[in-house]
């Protein structure tokens, strides 16, 4: 949806600015919103509704994912959660914390009472988080159930025209989470870019991560980096979890441009932020995306954390494979984490010497990994490997 300010709308409708402002305040220009002392009006509105046609708009009660959306001091996540006054938000935030620190069982247990909540935000948060948590638990039937819930709730929510722009923005964001992160079927949704400004800053930053992730998957690495840099620059505070997401996809995008030094810099900022609260799961679920950065940056200096992350990588790859490709033979299910990194880099036209330097391996070992990858995937050429990895 495209918007214009009250003055522009007044000129288009041939009325006074004051009339447009009055109609917007009364709800007679559906979709209008007030921001920074200016009324913004949808461009597709040609005349105001009659007063009798105005329906009460359902306002948002709370925003989803209270820990991810919040600004708190690095290293004080638990203290921050304990300080949240609303018990429901506190429980959802604690479930997020358990998930990010690798405690999927505890996360699922806390989320269970909110699966069918009448509060849209609580219900969305619970179903999205339960999908991810049950992938790690190996409970694929439950992961499927919750991802189906997400799809159904979105379809119902996006059809409801009698909601505030904040609720619509929350639904659009959740749809993007479902489509691009969970690979679930979602209805057609408007561009997330048009709704980010309705969201609180922490969630807006997470929304930028999703847009950057989409650009990365489309191999538009420069656009992904631009989204990340702009989003971080415009934050009025530091939002640790959302920032980690953004920094990780920026690091992956620099790898896509074959700029490993910049990739390492972004990766290590993300790691230094995450490690103080134990938020290591974010690096496990993004391991394949990071193209060996986890191995290079953490294996020697943080061996215990590295072992935990590799365990997370296996759990996530196994669960994701069973959820989305139960009938197919998937490379992440057969290759080791190091082989996955080698395969992705080799597929991106890195030479064996470049891969060896990046992963701190001998060139001979890299060539052995490439031969093993070919053998395990039953491919005989680089072109066949490319098709296999990208199908």
- pLDDT category at 159 given cuts 50, 70, 90 is low
Beta-sheet pairing, 33-35 with 3-5: unpaired
What pLDDT, on the 0 to 100 scale, is given for residue 245?
96
* Per-residue pLDDT reduced to its tens digit, 263-315: 999 999 999 999 999 999 999 989 888 988 998 899 889 999 999 998 888 88
Whether 13 contacts 47, CB under 8 Å: yes
List, for residues 64-113, the tens digit of each pLDDT value: 889 999 999 999 999 999 999 999 999 999 999 999 998 989 999 999 99
Average pLDDT along the chain = 85
**Domain boundaries, given as residue ranges, for the chain:** 3-53, 77-199
What pLDDT does 390 receive?
Answer: 66
Q: What is the mean pLDDT of residues 345-368?
A: 88
> Which class for 74: exposed (0-12), middle (13-18), buried (19 or more C-beta within 10 A)?
middle
**pLDDT score recorded for residue 182:** 75
* % of the chain exceeding 70 in pLDDT: 91
Percent of the chain with pLDDT over 90: 38
205: exposed, middle or buried (Cβ count in 10 Å: 0-12, 13-18, 19+): buried
Which whole number is the average pLDDT over 330-341?
72
Q: In 10 A of CB 301, how many CB atoms?
A: 9
Split at pLDDT 50, 70, 90, the class of 61 is: low
Q: Determine the average pLDDT of the residues in 122-151.
A: 80
Give the model's pLDDT for residue 89.
Answer: 92
Burial of residue 327, with CB atoms counted within 10 A of its CB: 0-12 exposed, 13-18 middle, 19 or more buried = exposed
Q: Residue 176 has what pLDDT?
A: 85
pLDDT value of position 157 = 62
> Per-residue pLDDT for 183 more than 60?
yes
Q: Over 90: is that where the pLDDT of 135 sits?
A: no
């Amino acid at each position: 949806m495209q918007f214009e300010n009250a003055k522009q709308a007044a000129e288009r409708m041939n009325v006074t600015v004051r009339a447009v402002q009055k109609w917007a305040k009364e709800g007679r220009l559906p979709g209008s919103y007030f921001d920074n002392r200016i009324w913004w009006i949808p461009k597709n509105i040609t005349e105001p509704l009659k007063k009798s046609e105005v329906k009460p708009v359902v306002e948002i009660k709370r925003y989803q994912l209270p820990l991810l959306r919040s600004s708190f001091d690095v290293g004080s996540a638990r203290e921050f959660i304990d300080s949240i006054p609303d018990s429901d938000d506190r429980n959802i935030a604690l479930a997020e914390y358990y998930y990010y620190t690798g405690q999927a069982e505890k996360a699922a247990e806390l989320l269970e009472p909110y699966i069918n909540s009448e509060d849209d935000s609580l219900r969305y948060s619970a179903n999205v988080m339960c999908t991810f948590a049950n992938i790690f638990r190996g409970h694929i039937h439950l992961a499927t159930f919750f991802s189906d819930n997400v799809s159904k709730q979105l379809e119902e929510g996006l059809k409801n025209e009698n909601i505030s722009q904040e609720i619509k923005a929350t639904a659009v964001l959740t749809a993007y989470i479902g489509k691009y992160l969970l690979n679930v079927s979602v209805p057609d949704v408007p561009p997330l870019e048009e709704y980010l400004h309705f969201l609180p800053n922490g969630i807006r930053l997470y929304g930028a991560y999703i847009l950057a992730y989409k650009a990365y998957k489309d191999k538009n690495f420069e656009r992904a980096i631009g989204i990340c840099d702009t989003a971080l620059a415009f934050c009025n505070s530091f939002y640790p979890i959302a920032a980690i997401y953004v920094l990780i996809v920026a690091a992956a995008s620099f790898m896509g441009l074959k700029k490993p030094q910049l990739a390492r810099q972004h990766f290590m900022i993300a790691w230094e932020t995450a490690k103080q609260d134990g938020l290591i799961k974010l690096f496990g679920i993004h391991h394949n995306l990071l193209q060996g950065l986890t191995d290079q940056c953490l294996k020697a200096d943080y061996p215990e954390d590295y072992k935990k992350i590799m365990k997370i990588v296996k759990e996530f790859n196994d669960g994701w494979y069973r959820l989305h490709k139960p009938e197919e033979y998937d490379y992440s299910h057969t290759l080791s984490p190091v082989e996955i990194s080698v395969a992705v880099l080799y597929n991106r036209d890195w030479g064996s010497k470049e891969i060896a330097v990046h992963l701190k391996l001998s060139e001979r070992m890299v060539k052995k990994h490439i031969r093993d990858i070919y053998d395990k995937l039953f491919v005989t050429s680089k072109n066949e490997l490319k098709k296999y990895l990208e199908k």
